[in-house]
Amino acid sequence: MVQRKQPRHRAQRPEVTAFARACGPGFELLFEQNPLPMWIYSARTARFLEVNEAAVQAYGYSRNEFLAKSLYDIGPPDERERLRAELGRRDCRRTGFRRSQGWRHLRKDGSTLWVDIHSLDLHSRGAPMRLAIVHDISEMKRSEEAVARLYRMSTVLSGVNGLVVRARSHEELFREACRLAVEKGGFLLAWILVVDGDRLRPVACHGSVTAGLDTIGAALQGRGLPADSPVAVALRTGQPVACNDIDRQPGLAACCAQLGVSGVRSSLAQPLFVGSRVAGCLCLYAGETGVFTGEEMKLLGEVAGDISYSMEFISRDEKLDYIAFYDPVTHLANRSLLTERLAQFTRAAREVRQQLAVLLLDLQRFGAVNTALGREGGDAVLKAVAERLQGVAGGPANLARVSGGQFGIVVPALKTLEELTGTLQDPVWWNLGGPIRHGGAELQLNARLGVAIFPDDGDEPETLLRNAEAALQQAKAQGERFLLYTKEMTAAIHERHSLELRLRRAQAHGEFVLYYQPKLSIPNGRICGAEALIRWNSPELGVVPPARFIPVLEDMGLIVEVGRQALREAADAVMRWSAQGLAPLPVSVNVSPLQLRQADFVQTLRDAIGARAGRNPHIELEVTESMLLGDTDAVIRRLRRVREMGVPIAIDDFGTGYSSLSYLPKLPIDAVKIDRSFITGLADNADTMSIVSTIISLAHSMGLRVIAEGVETHEQLRFLRMLKCDEMQGFLISKSLPEHEFVALLRRMQQAPADAPSLGWLLAS
């Protein structure tokens, strides 16, 4: 039996069959074989009543699958409303095709198809129907979207450009970059992770989805990153990894699920660099497929470049912060950071009503060590000290290097003072736990400590530090290992400050004057010279002896200028006296070690004695053994040039500094002045006498003159004469006198007849 070929459309829909029949064979040609997708659907239910072959091809559904669906089923949920409205707009009076633009349809495989639709109401018997002709505009839509996306990317890029100059911290940079990517770039989610040692740390996240930093952090920590995940690959290779259709990468889909991100169609892992090192990754997720290609990738590459640049820029800034808050030598906190931390410590202590202690530790003679070992050596010593202190300070947060050889230590949560003084018994606080090795040598450093207690000695960090400093100064002055702050110390510090102020004024106003004390030649009893001794003629304090202000002038460095004036004044006095007809008399001037360390010291002296340099200017210098600390060679060179000018040099306070006399022959000197302490004990202490005797004969063997100072009794003088001491100075003859009194004394002595006993009575008695 021969079967007649059934027309396809007839099968299920009688109304269509009726319509097709009415159309005749033209329907077959117009509908079935049309290269454009077409369908007939119910205007009431939107169900497909018939579809052509081109529609089957375009959408991927079989004809039967189509006929089981409605128009609602081939559009995304968010277009349903529009579709409903469109279907309701039925206008029976209209004839011809109606055009409706920009519909998004989904193929069977889930991909998107953009279409314009021309529809025509079919007037047939029964239910109303429509014929639709579908025009695929996906290509056009795609290029439109690409343009829009490019526009959005460039908005992101210019936003990030602005961030480069604006962002002050990494945190702000990352947060803002993610926000821009989502709000301006239209991404579903953006997040950034940084490589922190061997850890990956998510640092910022922004998105319209539920994923937050916590979720990302947990996801990273949980199972970690699979080695083949885009982020892992991007970090490893330093290349961006794009996935333009997440369905083709099931692993990634799982990742997104783990992050709680839905609707992701494509993603990008874009590495970030600091220098040439991969320092992090920018992760972007988009709701469409095929986003990360061509131009977009180029722009996103630039965005990442900007973020990278900014990271580097901020890192440098943070390095500056580091320098502002940390000591580059020991890597401990510096004074600024210590002050900040103290503020936190005191807040905490206040809350729990506990005390805390601030310790300032000062390395003794650190300046000299630094000079002797050089910068590098000094730094190495500081590092070693810092390490040892860390051991007792209870952690690096409690310790800071405050300045030069000074360290600050915070002892938090202090229950009793006894507890603290107990702690401070540990010898490490004063001998730093024994010698420090440096360059094959062993160096024993000692320390002094000043302590201030919160809240008794202050509740502000600055006050506490200042009071610890006052205690430290006292400890240094009294030779104590440590001292707790007392109110009197502040008074002492205030006094010191006001003294410094007044001394500056004194120098500016010329309040320093020279007094003169005669020196006597022991063999002939005649005045053979004088020592110039400085006095401060203070309008408020009267005549102030040098012991009260010379050490302060030395600390202040002002001694250099005051000493220069003393030299000039003594040289001028010599000239004045000779102009007054007195026989020329050498005047000794005391020179501080600090003056001798000045490179221009020789020139200063030359300026003071003027044209008399090289002849006999009748000026002598008194220097102490402490000048030999530091750069001895330079000092010795200077002393040689001083002697070349005809200026003799005496070592003052001889016997009190170095126990060894072996250095004496190396020095370019002319005389030694035996310290007063030996003269005092001369008459009643056999040991002292033998020391003085040794000094005198040793000095003589080297051709040096010997002067005894502080001679107060005849008995002392008798011994000195016996031991063949050359000259003497002391209250036995005269105190130091103001210039006019001294000149009067000189005149009396010099005008006496040559055979008069002068001061010979002294020697005879």
Fill in the per-residue mask, 633 to 672: x = in contact with ligand C2E (CB under 6 A), - = not in contact. -------------------xx-------------------
* Minimum CB distance to ligand C2E, residue 592 (Å): 4
Q: Measured from the CB atom, is 129 or 585 closer to Ca ion?
A: 585
Q: Measured from the CB atom, is 522 or 708 closer to Ca ion?
A: 708
Site for ligand C2E in 509-538 (CB under 6 A): 517, 533-534
Q: Measured from the CB atom, is 104 or 721 closer to ligand C2E?
A: 721
Best CA proximity match to 435, nearest among 356, 399, 501, 381:
381
590 binds Ca ion (CB under 5 A): yes
* Beta bridge pairs of residue 436: 443
* Minimum CB distance to ligand C2E, residue 574 (Å): 15
741 binds ligand C2E (CB under 6 A): no
624 binds Ca ion (CB under 5 A): no
Contact 645, 606 (CB under 8 A): yes
* Minimum CB distance to Ca ion, residue 709 (Å): 5
The two most distant CA atoms of the chain are separated, in Å, by 178
727 binds Ca ion (CB under 5 A): no
Contact 713, 683 (CB under 8 A): yes
Please give the single-letter amino acid code of residue 559: I
Stretch that binds Ca ion, among 164-172, 239-247, 646-654, 735-743 (CB under 5 A): 646-654
Q: Measured from the CB atom, is 184 or 519 closer to ligand C2E?
A: 519
563 binds ligand C2E (CB under 6 A): yes
- DSSP-derived letter for residue 9 is G
Tokens of 595: 């003056």
**Using CA atoms, how far apart are residues 127 and 609, in angstroms rounded to an integer?**
130
* Beta bridge pairs of residue 512: 536
Contact 205, 199 (CB under 8 A): no
Q: Measured from the CB atom, is 373 or 499 closer to ligand C2E?
A: 499
* Beta bridge pairs of residue 133: 38, 118
Which of Ca ion, ligand C2E, none binds 50 (CB below 5-8 Å, type-dependent)? none
Site for ligand C2E in 605-634 (CB under 6 A): 622
Instruction: Candidates 377, 546, 586, 630: give the one binding ligand C2E (CB under 6 A).
Output: 546
Fill in the per-residue mask, 690 to 709: x = in contact with ligand C2E (CB under 6 A), - = not in contact. -------------------x
Which of Ca ion, ligand C2E, none binds 563 (CB below 5-8 Å, type-dependent)? ligand C2E
622 binds Ca ion (CB under 5 A): yes
* Minimum CB distance to ligand C2E, residue 429 (Å): 33
Q: Measured from the CB atom, is 349 or 711 closer to Ca ion?
A: 711
**Using CA atoms, how far apart are residues 202 and 216, in angstroms rounded to an integer?**
7
Stretch that binds Ca ion, among 245-253, 407-415, 431-439, 618-626 (CB under 5 A): 618-626
Q: Measured from the CB atom, is 338 or 594 closer to ligand C2E?
A: 594
Best CA proximity match to 534, nearest among 513, 518, 509, 504:
513
Q: Measured from the CB atom, is 460 or 712 closer to ligand C2E?
A: 712
* Minimum CB distance to ligand C2E, residue 701 (Å): 25
**Using CA atoms, how far apart are residues 361 and 537, in angstroms rounded to an integer?**
37
**Using CA atoms, how far apart are residues 584 and 359, in angstroms rounded to an integer?**
57
Q: How would DSSP label each residue in 603-646?
A: HHHHHHHGGGTTS---EEEEEEGGGGSS-HHHHHHHHHHHHHTT
Q: Measured from the CB atom, is 131 or 674 closer to ligand C2E?
A: 674
590 binds ligand C2E (CB under 6 A): yes
Alpha helix ranges (H) inside 132-277: 138-166, 170-183, 213-222, 230-237, 250-259
* Minimum CB distance to Ca ion, residue 729 (Å): 9
Which of ligand C2E, Ca ion, none binds 227 (CB below 5-8 Å, type-dependent)? none
Stretch that binds ligand C2E, among 558-566, 612-620, 643-651, 739-747 (CB under 6 A): 558-566
* Minimum CB distance to ligand C2E, residue 517 (Å): 6
DSSP β-ladder status, 406-414 and 199-207: unpaired
C-alpha neighbours within 13 Å on the C-beta side of residue 459: 8
572 binds ligand C2E (CB under 6 A): no
Instruction: Candidates 434, 545, 584, 614: give the one binding ligand C2E (CB under 6 A).
Output: 545
* Minimum CB distance to Ca ion, residue 320 (Å): 51
Best CA proximity match to 188, nearest among 88, 260, 94, 131:
260
569 binds Ca ion (CB under 5 A): no
Stretch that binds Ca ion, among 362-370, 464-472, 651-659, 723-731 (CB under 5 A): 651-659
C-alpha neighbours within 13 Å on the C-beta side of residue 40: 24
710 binds ligand C2E (CB under 6 A): yes
CA angle 306, 312, 318 (to 5 degrees): 135
Contact 268, 292 (CB under 8 A): yes
Contact 205, 213 (CB under 8 A): yes
* Beta bridge pairs of residue 532: 516, 589
Which of Ca ion, ligand C2E, none binds 58 (CB below 5-8 Å, type-dependent)? none
Q: Measured from the CB atom, is 67 or 732 closer to ligand C2E?
A: 732
* Minimum CB distance to ligand C2E, residue 550 (Å): 5
**Using CA atoms, how far apart are residues 3 and 25, in angstroms rounded to an integer?**
20
Question: Could you tell me how far CA 147 lies from the centroid of its own chain?
Answer: 47
Q: How many residues bind ligand C2E (CB under 6 A)?
A: 24
The beta strands (E) that lie in 189-299 are given as: 189-196, 199-207, 241-243, 266-274, 277-286
With residue 414 as reference, give the H or E element that holds it. strand 406-414
Please give the single-letter amino acid code of residue 79: E
Instruction: Candidates 52, 229, 592, 716: give the one binding ligand C2E (CB under 6 A).
Output: 592
652 binds Ca ion (CB under 5 A): yes
Full strand arrangement of the beta sheet holding 447-454:
399-403, 406-414, 355-363, 447-454, 482-484
Please give the single-letter amino acid code of residue 594: L
Instruction: Candidates 322, 731, 744, 756: give the one binding ligand C2E (CB under 6 A).
Output: 731
* Minimum CB distance to ligand C2E, residue 530 (Å): 12
Which of ligand C2E, Ca ion, none binds 712 (CB below 5-8 Å, type-dependent)? ligand C2E
**Using CA atoms, how far apart are residues 692 and 677, in angstroms rounded to an integer?**
11
Best CA proximity match to 433, nearest among 468, 387, 380, 473:
387
Instruction: Candidates 362, 569, 653, 726: give the one binding Ca ion (CB under 5 A).
Output: 653
547 binds ligand C2E (CB under 6 A): yes
729 binds Ca ion (CB under 5 A): no
Check whether the bond before 37 is cis (ω within 30° of 0).
Answer: no
Place of tokens 């991007």: 234
Residues that bind Ca ion (CB under 5 A): 590, 622, 652-653
Residues that bind ligand C2E (CB under 6 A): 517, 533-534, 545-547, 550, 559, 563, 566, 590-592, 622, 652-653, 709-712, 729-731, 736
